RNA sequence: GGGGCGGUAGCUCAAUUGGUUAGAGUACCGGACUGUCGAUCCGGUGGUUGCGGGUUCGAGUCCCGUCCGCCUCGCCA
């Protein structure tokens, strides 16, 4: 621990005498015994024995026990100490000695104590709404957010903020060593209302015009490549005005990166090195070489583009076997586009998950009935279930329908007595999504997901499709973003593809890549389009007329015309990285001053009303009419 | 926008089927105490049960509305 004692403080002598600390509260050890030290910090707890008072003094660096002893100090000092309460801020001077009452193994400083000879109360506290105590049961999150400055006094929260700092430090060091320049990009930005809903800011100088806040610095970092910056990094704030989740805030941070003259192998290798450095620096964990898994395989085996490979429960296609049954649910599903390509999103399929024997016992009727209800949110009709009993026969659920194909199902799924099978019969898209989500829920319900710190399963998801149909509008939308390039060998197919040929468009693969860890996307990126004709074709496919594309992105299209190097990049979700490396599932725990689900800051009261004068100056008029109480 | 859970003392929680003056721990205040370390012991203050309406002899409890927090679906190029 670094000593924070200042040196050469020229104004010290002109101020009223204040005890200046010589050590932090986490610093003193046996070696300091006998020396006179000054500490400052918050009263973490007090134990008043009358003539003997113990104070645990806390700062960011630790806790040190102070002792006030009637036999060795002035009565006035003891009276002062007698009035100290939790969260008072004090400074004190005294001699370090070995603890008379024996060591406290819970504290790093637990073998010593400071016998106080001088005390200065720097700030007396009102009775705080709660104490920043990691051992006590936490107050409601609402209370923590309202008094965030107190919540952030908790060692756990300070530890998270320290880890967050460590992560950004490692990022800056690593990318600096590899030739990246950190460049800041605008927060007040051109509104580009594709994708996420954006926050907007009115212009005072240009009446009626608005800035958007960036959903990411995507276009600027590409322009920096056109500018010849070669390698860019930024730890940047991004804004998306969509409803938050446990792992999502509308204002969040990315470690944003872009590289010139590279293909996807170069980018992935560079980022893999970063992940390796990061896990080693923060957790001491060695990350082995990261395997790649094509999007198609991810979907086939795990039903999701970010597979959690920490447990089995993989998905199998049993369409061919299901077709031989008389089960109407199977037959109806399989009747959809039976002649389409195998992975066509609208083609009917039957897929299954085998839940192996010891765990399968926990799958009660109540639980599986719940699954049938739950999957309706993904558009599925239900979850057919069947069990293989000890005698090797199917029972319960859809047993009578699948009994005729028992041998084939047992062989295809590798079933053992006691196993349970969960089915999904629907279109490829719905069945895959359903089992992909169900697989994760079952794993959680059965308790087979390794606890935090036990497994770090990385993989690169590669070869994702360029486009997919929007569920509502039916229009093509970019899977990643409209600047993602087709994979090198797909360029011709892309240029030739007929926009009305669903199967052809769906099968075009991009040069995108996502870094996935334990089922969580921690980074996503792609090689970008650097040819104006290819970029124009993408815009056309997305339904942007040349005029619209020019209006929104003319600067990019122009830039691409004036000599753009091949380039590609990636962005890490910083908040999620911190969550994973700290073992928390609440994104608000890794943000110093987070917002609630409706974007409110409970501490400052943002957002708040502004004066009519402010609005007039910005040429803005609110249509909101407050409800009468 | 939809679904779910929650809101009782500063904080964490309890309160039987709708029934006496809404309790406990902790914090806080006062007192005792020289080796504690989540100190202990004694005493005390502290409540618009989120807010508004309704049903009822009687509402923390039931009904309607509303606000806030969390989880979630949609949404998140």
Spatial distance between the Cα atoms of A41 and A501, rounded to a whole number of angstroms: 69
End-to-end CA distance of chain A: 57
3-state SS assignment for residue A52: strand
Spatial distance between the Cα atoms of A165 and A563, rounded to a whole number of angstroms: 38
pLDDT at position A6 over 60: no
| Residue whose CA is minimally distant from B73 C1' | A377
For residue A11, what pLDDT band results from cuts at 50, 70 and 90?
very low
Q: Which two tokens stand for residue A470?
A: 């929007």
Question: Given this model, what pLDDT does residue A140 score?
Answer: 94
pLDDT at position A4 over 50: no
Nearest nucleotide over every DNA/RNA strand to the A250 CA, judged by C1': B76
pLDDT at position A12 over 60: no
Cα dihedral sign for A558, A241, A200, A216? negative
Spatial distance between the Cα atoms of A238 and A233, rounded to a whole number of angstroms: 14
Å from A520 (CA) to B75 (C1')? 19
In terms of Cα–Cα distance, which of A200, A225, A255, A196 is closest to A478? A196
Cβ-based neighbour number of residue A342 at 10 Å? 11
Report angle CA A91, A94, A98 to the nearest 5 degrees: 125
Nearest nucleotide over every DNA/RNA strand to the A125 CA, judged by C1': B28
Average pLDDT value for residue range A228-241: 97
Residue A75: CB less than 7 A from any atom in strand B: no
Average pLDDT value for residue range A302-311: 94
3-state SS assignment for residue A95: strand
In terms of Cα–Cα distance, which of A76, A86, A95 is closest to A32? A95
Residue A604: CB less than 7 A from any atom in strand B: no
In terms of Cα–Cα distance, which of A571, A564, A565, A535 is closest to A550? A535
Average pLDDT value for residue range A562-576: 96
3-state SS assignment for residue A234: strand
In terms of Cα–Cα distance, which of A106, A146, A115, A107 is closest to A26? A107
For residue A3, what pLDDT band results from cuts at 50, 70 and 90?
very low
Question: Given this model, what pLDDT does residue A475 score?
Answer: 85
Nearest nucleotide over every DNA/RNA strand to the A142 CA, judged by C1': B69
3-state SS assignment for residue A156: helix
Residue A45: CB less than 7 A from any atom in strand B: yes
How would you label A407-442 residue by residue, b for 16+ Cβ within 10 Å and e otherwise? eebbebbebeebbbbbbbbbbbbbbbbbbbbbbbeb
Å from A370 (CA) to B73 (C1')? 16
Spatial distance between the Cα atoms of A20 and A25, rounded to a whole number of angstroms: 13
Question: Given this model, what pLDDT does residue A14 score?
Answer: 53
The interface pTM score, or ipTM, of the predicted complex is 0.94
In terms of Cα–Cα distance, which of A292, A294, A342 is closest to A317? A342
Query: In this predicted model, what pLDDT tens digit does every residue of A434-448 receive, in sequence order?
Result: 999 999 999 988 889
Q: Which two tokens stand for residue A337?
A: 């586009």
Residue A73 has phi, psi (to 5 degrees) of -130, 165
Q: Which residues contact A531 (CB under 8 A, 6 or more apart)?
A: A560
In terms of Cα–Cα distance, which of A545, A511, A553 is closest to A220? A553
pLDDT at position A505 over 90: no
Nearest nucleotide over every DNA/RNA strand to the A244 CA, judged by C1': B76
Q: Which residues contact A556 (CB under 8 A, 6 or more apart)?
A: A219, A222, A223, A483, A535
How large is the C-alpha radius of gyration of chain A?
31
Phi-psi category of residue A392: left, alpha or beta, with phi > 0 → left and psi -120 to 50 → alpha: left
Spatial distance between the Cα atoms of A339 and A352, rounded to a whole number of angstroms: 21
Q: How far is CA A196 from CA A53, A70, A193, A249, A250, in A?
A: 58, 66, 7, 13, 10
Instruction: Supply the DSSP symbol for A125.
Output: P
A112 bridge partner residues: A98
Query: In this predicted model, what pLDDT tens digit does every residue of A151-198 receive, in sequence order?
Result: 999 999 999 999 999 999 999 999 999 999 999 999 999 988 778 999
Å from A368 (CA) to B30 (C1')? 60
Residue A49: CB less than 7 A from any atom in strand B: yes
In terms of Cα–Cα distance, which of A579, A595, A597 is closest to A587? A579
In terms of Cα–Cα distance, which of A591, A605, A569 is closest to A248? A591
Residues 179-218 of A with CB under 7 A from strand B: 192, 194-197, 215-216, 218
Residue A456: CB less than 7 A from any atom in strand B: no
Residue A548 has phi, psi (to 5 degrees) of -65, -45
pLDDT at position A361 over 80: yes
Spatial distance between the Cα atoms of A78 and A8, rounded to a whole number of angstroms: 33
Nearest nucleotide over every DNA/RNA strand to the A51 CA, judged by C1': B34
Report angle CA A324, A328, A334 to the nearest 5 degrees: 60
Nearest nucleotide over every DNA/RNA strand to the A71 CA, judged by C1': B34
Spatial distance between the Cα atoms of A187 and A217, rounded to a whole number of angstroms: 9
Instruction: Supply the DSSP symbol for A236.
Output: E
Spatial distance between the Cα atoms of A491 and A430, rounded to a whole number of angstroms: 29
E strands of A210-250, at which residues?
210-212, 231-239
Residues 531-590 of A with CB under 7 A from strand B: 586, 588
The size of chain A, in residues, is 629
Beta-strand pair A231-239/A394-395: unpaired
Question: Quick one: what percent of chain A has pLDDT higher than 90?
Answer: 75
Q: Which two tokens stand for residue A175?
A: 């990318």
Q: Which two tokens stand for residue A404?
A: 């005729």
Residues 242-261 of A with CB under 7 A from strand B: 242-248
Q: Are A22 and A58 in contact (CB under 8 A)?
A: no
Per-residue H/E/C for A357-415: HHHHCCCCHHHHHHHHHHHHHHCCCCCCEEEECCCCCEECCCHHHHHHHHHHHHHHHCC
Q: Are A325 and A408 in contact (CB under 8 A)?
A: no
CA A604 to chain CA mean position, Å: 24
E strands of A134-262, at which residues?
181-182, 200-202, 210-212, 231-239, 251-260
The single residue listed with the structure tokens 């100490």 is A81
Query: In this predicted model, what pLDDT tens digit does every residue of A405-420 receive, in sequence order?
Result: 999 999 999 999 999 9
Average pLDDT value for residue range A530-545: 85
Å from A135 (CA) to B32 (C1')? 28
Q: Are A479 and A512 in contact (CB under 8 A)?
A: yes
Question: Given this model, what pLDDT does residue A627 score?
Answer: 59
Nearest nucleotide over every DNA/RNA strand to the A218 CA, judged by C1': B77
Average pLDDT value for residue range A93-108: 96
Query: In this predicted model, what pLDDT tens digit does every residue of A467-479 receive, in sequence order?
Result: 988 877 788 889 8
Judge residue A473's burial from the number of C-beta atoms within 10 Å of its C-beta, 0-12 exposed, 13-18 middle, 19 or more buried.
exposed
Bases of chain B within 7 A of a CB of the protein:
1, 10-13, 27-29, 32-40, 68-77
Spatial distance between the Cα atoms of A21 and A413, rounded to a whole number of angstroms: 68
Nearest nucleotide over every DNA/RNA strand to the A479 CA, judged by C1': B77
In terms of Cα–Cα distance, which of A506, A379, A376, A503 is closest to A430? A379
Question: Given this model, what pLDDT does residue A15 score?
Answer: 55
Spatial distance between the Cα atoms of A144 and A130, rounded to a whole number of angstroms: 8
Question: Given this model, what pLDDT does residue A499 score?
Answer: 82
């Amino acid at each position: 621990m670094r000593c924070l004692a200042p040196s050469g403080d020229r104004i010290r002598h002109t101020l009223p005498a204040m005890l200046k600390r010589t050590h932090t509260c986490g610093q003193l050890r046996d070696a300091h015994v006998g020396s006179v030290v000054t500490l400052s910090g918050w009263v973490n707890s007090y134990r008043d024995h009358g003539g003997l008072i113990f104070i645990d003094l806390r700062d960011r660096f630790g806790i040190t026990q102070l002792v006030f002893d009637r036999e060795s100090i002035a009565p006035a000092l003891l009276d002062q100490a007698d009035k100290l309460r939790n969260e008072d801020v004090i400074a004190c001077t005294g001699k370090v000695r070995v603890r008379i009452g024996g060591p406290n193994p819970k504290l790093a400083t637990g073998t010593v104590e400071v016998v106080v000879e001088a005390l200065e109360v720097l700030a007396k506290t009102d009775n705080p709404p709660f104490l920043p105590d990691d051992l006590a049961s936490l107050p409601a999150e609402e209370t923590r957010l309202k008094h965030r400055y107190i919540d952030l006094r908790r060692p756990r929260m300070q530890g998270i903020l320290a880890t967050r700092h460590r992560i950004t430090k490692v990022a800056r060091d690593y990318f600096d060593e590899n030739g990246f320049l950190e460049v800041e990009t605008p927060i007040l930005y051109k509104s580009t209302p594709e994708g996420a809903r954006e926050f907007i800011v009115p212009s005072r100088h240009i009446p009626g015009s608005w800035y958007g806040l960036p959903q990411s610095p995507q276009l600027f970092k590409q322009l920096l490549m056109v500018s010849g910056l070669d390698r860019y990094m930024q730890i940047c704030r991004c804004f998306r005005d969509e409803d938050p989740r446990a792992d999502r805030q509308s204002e969040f941070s990315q470690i944003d990166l872009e590289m010139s003259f590279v293909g996807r192998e170069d980018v992935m290798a560079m980022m893999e090195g970063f992940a390796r450095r990061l896990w080693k620096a923060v957790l001491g964990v060695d990350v082995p070489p990261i395997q790649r898994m094509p999007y198609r395989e991810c979907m086939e085996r795990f039903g999701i583009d970010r597979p959690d490979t920490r447990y089995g429960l993989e998905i199998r296609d049993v369409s061919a076997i299901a077709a031989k049954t008389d089960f109407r649910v199977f037959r109806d599903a399989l009747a959809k586009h039976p002649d389409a390509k195998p992975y066509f999103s609208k083609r009917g399929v039957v897929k299954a998950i085998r839940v192996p024997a010891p765990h399968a016992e926990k799958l009660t009727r109540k639980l599986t009935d719940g699954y049938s209800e739950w999957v309706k949110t993904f558009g599925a009709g239900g979850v057919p279930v069947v069990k293989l009993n000890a005698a090797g026969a199917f029972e319960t659920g859809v047993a009578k329908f699948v009994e005729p194909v028992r041998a084939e199902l047992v062989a295809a799924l590798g079933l053992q007595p006691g196993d349970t099978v969960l089915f999904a019969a629907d279109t490829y898209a719905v069945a895959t999504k359903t089992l992909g989500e169900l697989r994760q829920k079952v794993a959680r319900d059965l308790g087979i997901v390794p606890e935090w710190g036990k497994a770090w399963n990385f993989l690169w998801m590669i070869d994702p499709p360029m486009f997919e149909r929007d569920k509502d509008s039916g229009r093509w939308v970019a899977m990643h973003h409209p600047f993602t390039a087709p994979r090198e060998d797909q360029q011709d197919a892309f240029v030739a593809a007929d926009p009305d040929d669903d199967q052809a468009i769906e099968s075009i693969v991009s040069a995108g890549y996502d870094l996935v860890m334990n089922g969580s996307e921690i980074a996503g990126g792609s090689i970008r389009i650097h040819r104006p004709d290819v970029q124009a074709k993408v815009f056309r496919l997305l339904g942007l007329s040349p005029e619209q594309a020019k209006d929104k992105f003319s600067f990019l299209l122009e830039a691409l015309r004036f000599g753009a190097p091949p380039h590609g990049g990636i962005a890490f979700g910083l908040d999620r990285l911190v969550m994973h490396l700290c073992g928390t599932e609440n994104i608000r725990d890794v943000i110093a001053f987070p917002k609630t689900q409706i974007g409110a800051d409970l501490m400052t009261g943002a957002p708040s009303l502004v004066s009519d004068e402010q609005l007039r100056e910005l040429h803005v008029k609110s249509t909101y009419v407050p409800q009468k109480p």
